[in-house]
């Protein structure tokens, strides 16, 4: 996906300014109660200005009203800017969608009718030929094709989509680049992946997340408390034998209520989703992103996440009485035709370590391909048959007495390899067991460190593997995961998730197959791989367009960053109030009790400039914090204690001190320019 990289490029800022004004509509504003109060007070001041309030200069009142309106505008601008970043992406997606045409099958042979994709109904079948764009989300029911999904994922290498199995889902807007397929439409019109993506990046479907709702309640509560505090002042002042101009009380109120966080709250949420989208992960709801921050347990598939997908041959283990070279040569011959990475690694090992010089299979050799039934492969060379395969499969194909020393030794070697975290392949020549090939799982470099980080953050990692418990334990120890689930079936996964959840933990996992769907749906954060089946993509609450299972870890980080940004700005906003009090309270009360002038600790020039400076600071802090709100606070994995200490000193203490400095500087400017 492409989007302007600079947050403040003119292409984004100018439309955002226009939208900021549009968002001043009362209905739009009322979604944000604090800003609504701010706007109401601004309107009230504007009205008072027209009526003329005694005791204050018109110039001062004009400036006050102006800055209050600017406060509101800065808030709407922040939201518009955050939305604008997604809108550019949405526009290109929408263009793709508009041009989609579908070849709707008519049910008789291969005849079809060309219709606009928007008219496709769920269940209809379309034909997609080489060069066509797939018109709707669906499932391949016939054929195999390579598909370029760059429009969605940004990855130009084509992927295979075929009927049946776990690679049958296709997405609207992607292009078939070879062969042809028939696709059954699985999405209602307007409900497809593309539609969802457009809505998501545009923020149109944005609903407040649970945490945002709770925070909004707190902000409203603070607003009410400060409303009480300010609205009772006139009565107190009348006791003291004076009166305080409404404009000054309005200024006090606006500086006290949490305008900063209220103005930035929705921008933070939108930007958080946007970061995820840029990371090529689509979250179906903001709730899922928040849940990611709360995750306690990560279920990680071994293959591809913890180990590099392919196992490598590392050793030949010959049985007693068998030359290792003989085993190596047999293994090499059996693997020459095996184009899998495992097969290639056996050939490489035999050649490099055991100096076997066979370059190619002799003519007349017969290749025995791997089938799901026999689960072994091999070759017949000059009348000699060599098989290789899982130990159990080999023994099944070649029934040997269990009591035979060779079989017993084979089992012993098998166990040893498994215990070391490897997978054994048995090699048999003309019914004689030669030995085993040790296939080793290679743990990805750097994952161990990642798990250490996760543990510091209080997150437990559980490795999921189909391996037997011995192998699993060895790999788990090597990779440094906290726990593992061996010989895992989809039911085991589901049960594990339920068990963790019953103990109060939040679980995240990723998966791609149809049989992963129940577990994906049960997990608090379920990341479906985009290459996966439609069922998996429906069940998860996030889809990873790159189909990279390691990303689960980053998704957790993004969730945490979103929550931290919200917390940091809330704390900053509340801490700001102290300084504002010290600016405004002496300014408005000094006429009643001149002694209160000593509270003017910042030494602000005049009461008017003090009030104006506080209001200006309160307004300007919003655009100053927009980059932080959009980028998110810096996030490094560490335990909660140090993290809190760091953020509290930056945003809490910083929030306490910054306005003292800021207001003083603004006051110098205001009084220097004779504005008040």
Partner 1 sequence: MTVAGWGLILLFVAILLALAKPMGLWLFALYEGRITPLHRVLGPVERGFYRLAGIDPNEEQGWRRYALHMLLFNVALLIFTYAVLRLQGVLPVNPQGFGAVGADGAFNTAISFTTNTNWQWYSGEATLSNLSQMLGLTIQNFLSAATGIAIAFALFRGFARREVKTIGNFWADMTRVTLYLLLPICIVYAIFLIASGVPQTLAGSVDATTLEGVKQTIALGPVASQEAIKMLGTNGGGFFNANSAHPFENPTALTNLVQMLSILAIGVGLTWCFGRAVGDTRQGWAILAAMGVLFVAGVAVTYWQEAAGNPVLHQLGALGGNMEGKEVRFGIAASALFAVVTTAASCGAVNAMHDSFTALGGMIPLFNMQIGEVVVGGVGAGIYGFLLFAILAVFVAGLMVGRTPEYVGKKIEAREVKLAVLAIAILPLVILGFTAIASVLPAGLAGPLNKGPHGFSEILYAFTSCAGNNGSAFAGLTAGTPFYNGMLGVAMWLGRFFVIVPALAIAGSLAAKRHVPASSGSFPTTGGLWIGLLVGIILILGGLTFLPSLALGPIADHLAMVNGQLF
Residue 413 vs 587, nearer CB to partner 1 = 587
Which of these segments, 10-18, 304-312, 476-484, 581-589, binds partner 1 (CB under 8 A)? 581-589
Determine the Cα–Cα distance for residues 355 and 316; give it in Å rounded to an integer.
13
Footprint (CB under 8 A) of partner 1, residues 232-291: 232-240, 256, 290
Tokens representing 360? 């190619």
Q: Is 214 in the site for partner 1 (CB under 8 A)?
A: yes
Footprint (CB under 8 A) of partner 1, residues 74-103: none
Residue 24 vs 648, nearer CB to partner 1 = 648
Phi, then psi, of 139 in degrees rounded to 5: -125, 135
The one among 159, 456, 515, 554 contacting partner 1 by CB under 8 A: 456
Residue 237 vs 521, nearer CB to partner 1 = 237
Note the helical H segments in 23-123.
26-29, 33-51, 58-98
Residue 257 vs 529, nearer CB to partner 1 = 257
Q: Does the annotation count 301 as an active-site position?
A: yes
The one among 138, 513, 540, 567 contacting partner 1 by CB under 8 A: 567
The one among 78, 459, 587, 676 contacting partner 1 by CB under 8 A: 459
Q: Is 480 in the site for partner 1 (CB under 8 A)?
A: no
Residue 495 vs 596, nearer CB to partner 1 = 596
Q: Is 217 in the site for partner 1 (CB under 8 A)?
A: yes
- Check residue 188 and report its DSSP letter: -
The one among 3, 24, 585, 620 contacting partner 1 by CB under 8 A: 585
Determine the Cα–Cα distance for residues 438 and 622; give it in Å rounded to an integer.
62
Shortest separation between residue 581's beta carbon and partner 1, angstroms:
6
Determine the Cα–Cα distance for residues 305 and 527; give it in Å rounded to an integer.
13
Q: Classify 6 as helix, strand or coil.
A: coil
Determine the Cα–Cα distance for residues 428 and 416; give it in Å rounded to an integer.
19
Q: How many residues does the chain have?
A: 676
Q: Is 482 in the site for partner 1 (CB under 8 A)?
A: no
Report whether 532 contacts 166 (CB < 8 A).
Answer: yes
CA contacts within 13 A on the Cβ side of 473: 9
CA distances from 176 to 116, 172, 385 (A): 18, 11, 42
Footprint (CB under 8 A) of partner 1, residues 287-316: 290, 293-294, 296
Report whether 551 contacts 544 (CB < 8 A).
Answer: yes
Residue 453 vs 478, nearer CB to partner 1 = 453
Q: Classify 384 as helix, strand or coil.
A: strand
The one among 507, 575, 604, 619 contacting partner 1 by CB under 8 A: 575
Residue 70 vs 215, nearer CB to partner 1 = 215
Torsion sign over Cα 396, 401, 403, 409: negative
Kind plus residue range of the DSSP H or E element containing 283: strand 281-283
Instruction: Find the angle CA(213)-CA(215)-CA(217) to the nearest 5 degrees.
Output: 70
Q: Is 519 in the site for partner 1 (CB under 8 A)?
A: no
Q: 338-365 burial, b for 16+ CB within 10 Å, e for fewer?
A: beeebbbbbbebbeeebebeeeeeeeee
Residue 589 vs 617, nearer CB to partner 1 = 589
Tokens representing 492? 């085991």
Q: Is 26 in the site for partner 1 (CB under 8 A)?
A: no
Footprint (CB under 8 A) of partner 1, residues 608-667: 635, 639-641, 643-645, 647-648, 651-652
How many binding residues for partner 1 (CB under 8 A)? 73
The one among 83, 166, 577, 667 contacting partner 1 by CB under 8 A: 577
Q: Is 598 in the site for partner 1 (CB under 8 A)?
A: yes
Residue 8 vs 593, nearer CB to partner 1 = 593
The one among 560, 613, 615, 629 contacting partner 1 by CB under 8 A: 560
Catalytic residue (choose from 274, 301, 467, 524): 301
Q: Is 11 in the site for partner 1 (CB under 8 A)?
A: no
Shortest separation between residue 20's beta carbon and partner 1, angstroms:
26
Q: Is 228 in the site for partner 1 (CB under 8 A)?
A: yes
Determine the Cα–Cα distance for residues 173 and 94; give it in Å rounded to an integer.
10
Q: Is 601 in the site for partner 1 (CB under 8 A)?
A: no
The one among 380, 455, 548, 605 contacting partner 1 by CB under 8 A: 455
The one among 122, 353, 411, 505 contacting partner 1 by CB under 8 A: 505
Residues 6+ apart with CB under 8 A from 90: 197, 198, 201, 202
Shortest separation between residue 290's beta carbon and partner 1, angstroms:
6
Shortest separation between residue 36's beta carbon and partner 1, angstroms:
18
Q: How many CB atoms lie within 10 A of CB 109?
A: 7
The one among 11, 62, 160, 229 contacting partner 1 by CB under 8 A: 229
Footprint (CB under 8 A) of partner 1, residues 102-161: none
Residue 345 vs 570, nearer CB to partner 1 = 570
Determine the Cα–Cα distance for residues 308 and 541; give it in Å rounded to an integer.
26
Instruction: Find the angle CA(516)-CA(518)-CA(520) to the nearest 5 degrees.
Output: 65
Q: Which residue's structure tokens are 């409404």?
A: 246
Q: How many CB atoms lie within 10 A of CB 75?
A: 31
Tokens representing 534? 């439609």
Which of these segments, 83-91, 224-232, 381-389, 527-535, binds partner 1 (CB under 8 A)? 224-232
* Active-site residue list: 301
């Amino acid at each position: 996906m492409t989007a302007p990289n600079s947050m403040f490029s003119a292409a984004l800022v100018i439309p955002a300014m226009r939208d900021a004004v549009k968002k001043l509509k009362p209905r739009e504003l009322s979604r944000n109660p604090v800003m609504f109060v701010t706007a109401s007070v601004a309107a009230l001041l504007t009205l008072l200005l027209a009526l003329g309030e005694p005791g204050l200069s018109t110039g001062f009142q004009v400036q006050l009203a102006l800055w209050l309106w600017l406060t509101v505008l800065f808030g709407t601008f922040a939201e518009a800017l955050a939305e604008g970043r997604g809108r550019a992406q949405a526009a290109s997606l929408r263009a793709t969608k508009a041009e989609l045409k579908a070849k709707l099958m008519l049910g008789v042979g291969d005849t079809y009718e060309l219709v606009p994709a928007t008219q496709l109904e769920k269940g209809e079948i379309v034909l997609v030929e080489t060069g066509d764009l797939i018109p709707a989300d669906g499932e391949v029911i016939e054929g195999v094709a390579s598909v370029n999904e760059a429009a969605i994922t940004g990855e130009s290498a084509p992927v295979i989509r075929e009927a049946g199995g776990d690679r049958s889902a296709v997405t609207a807007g992607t292009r078939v680049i070879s062969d042809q397929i028939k696709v059954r439409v699985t999405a209602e019109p307007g409900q497809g992946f593309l539609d969802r993506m457009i809505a998501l990046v545009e923020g149109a479907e944005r609903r407040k997340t649970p945490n945002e709702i709770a925070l909004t309640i707190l902000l409203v509560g603070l607003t009410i408390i400060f409303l009480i505090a300010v609205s009772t002042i006139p009565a107190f002042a009348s006791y003291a034998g004076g009166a305080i101009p409404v404009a000054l009380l309005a200024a006090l109120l606006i500086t006290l209520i949490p305008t900063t966080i209220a103005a930035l709250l929705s921008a933070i949420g939108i930007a958080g989703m946007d970061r995820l989208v840029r990371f090529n992960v689509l979250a179906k709801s903001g709730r899922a992103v928040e849940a990611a921050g709360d995750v306690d347990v990560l279920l990680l598939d071994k293959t591809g996440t913890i180990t590099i997908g392919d196992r490598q041959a590392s050793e030949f283990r010959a049985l007693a009485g068998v030359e290792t070279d003989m085993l190596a040569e047999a293994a090499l011959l059996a693997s020459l035709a095996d184009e899998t990475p495992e097969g290639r690694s056996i050939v490489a090992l035999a050649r490099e370590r055991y100096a076997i010089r066979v370059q190619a299979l002799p003519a007349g050799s017969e290749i025995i391909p791997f089938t799901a039934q026999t689960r072994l492969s091999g070759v017949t060379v000059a009348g000699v048959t060599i098989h290789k395969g899982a130990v159990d499969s080999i023994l099944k194909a070649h029934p040997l007495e269990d009591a035979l020393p060779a079989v017993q030794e084979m089992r012993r070697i098998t166990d040893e390899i498994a215990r070391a975290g490897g997978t054994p392949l048995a090699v048999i020549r003309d019914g004689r067991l030669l030995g085993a090939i040790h296939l080793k799982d290679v743990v990805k470099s750097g994952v161990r460190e990642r798990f250490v980080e996760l543990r510091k953050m209080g997150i437990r990692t559980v490795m999921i593997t189909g391996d037997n418990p011995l192998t699993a334990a060895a790999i788990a120890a090597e990779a440094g995961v906290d726990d593992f689930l061996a010989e895992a079936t989809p039911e085991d996964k589901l049960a594990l998730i339920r068990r963790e959840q019953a103990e109060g933990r939040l679980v995240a996992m990723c998966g791609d197959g149809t049989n992963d769907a129940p577990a994906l749906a049960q997990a608090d954060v379920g990341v479906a791989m985009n290459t996966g089946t439609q069922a998996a993509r429906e069940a998860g609450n996030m889809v990873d367009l790159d189909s990279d299972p390691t990303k689960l870890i980053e998704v957790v980080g993004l969730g945490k960053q979103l929550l931290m940004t919200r917390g940091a700005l809330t704390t900053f906003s509340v801490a700001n109030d102290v300084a504002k009090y010290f600016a405004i309270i002496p300014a408005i009360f000094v006429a009643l009790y001149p002694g209160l002038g000593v509270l003017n600790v910042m030494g602000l020039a005049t009461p008017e400039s003090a009030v104006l400076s506080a209001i200006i600071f309160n307004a300007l802090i919003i655009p100053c914090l927009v980059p932080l709100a959009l980028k998110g606070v810096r996030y490094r994995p560490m335990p909660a204690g140090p993290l809190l200490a760091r953020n509290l000193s930056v945003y809490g203490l910083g929030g306490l001190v910054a306005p003292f400095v800021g207001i003083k500087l603004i006051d110098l400017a205001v009084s220097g320019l004779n504005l008040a």
